[in-house]
Amino acid sequence: MKVSDAVEQLRNARAAHKAWVARAEAMIEGMNVDKEHIPMLPTDCVFGKWYYGSGQALRKLPAYKSMEKPHDSLHRTYMQIFKLLFDEPDVSAWGKLFGKAKKAKADQIKEAQVLLKRLQSISDDVCEILETLEDQFITAARKQKVNSTINHTLG
């Protein structure tokens, strides 16, 4: 695995996870949802495909192991927000007539705002782990390069 490719993947992942938080915030504010904003499994996002694919080359690094749980939690929390905002409230025709649907929607938005704060915190954790993973990977790659140079020189 090339160092530059792995570093690029990790940096792109930080940007992508921050973008998911921004999308959740925009949805709460009433933004329409495009196909790419629909929640997905942690294994299906670009980072997840890398993490469970070629990124496993980094699995011996401590930060790699600590990424799975918060990454999964980020996806689950985003899904909860999405469902709150886009699942129709269970309100009868009479309830709709008397405004209960609006109250249900307002309650859903309040709950989504609480979840958004949680999502932001999880995203901060994910980004911090990604940064640590990048640092650990670069350090390991440098050590390996130095050791390989020494072995080549001595060999």
Closest CA to 31 of 92, 85, 103: 85
Task: Please give the pLDDT value at position 86.
Answer: 82
Task: Please give the pLDDT value at position 36.
Answer: 66
Q: Token pair of 121, please?
A: 């915190």
- What does the pLDDT look like over 34-53, one tens digit per residue? 766 788 899 998 889 899 99
**Collapsed DSSP state (helix, strand, coil) of residue 131:** helix
Q: Which residues have CB under 8 Å from 100's CB, separation 6+?
A: 91, 92
User: For the whole model, what pTM was predicted?
Assistant: 0.79
Q: Angle at which helices 68-86 and 100-154 pack, to 10 degrees?
A: 160
Domain ranges of the chain: 3-154
Task: Please give the pLDDT value at position 127.
Answer: 94
Q: Which of 15-24, 25-34, 100-109 has the highest mean pLDDT?
A: 15-24
User: DSSP class of residue 88?
Assistant: P
The residue-averaged pLDDT of 82-89 equals 79
Whether the predicted pLDDT of 4 surpasses 50? yes
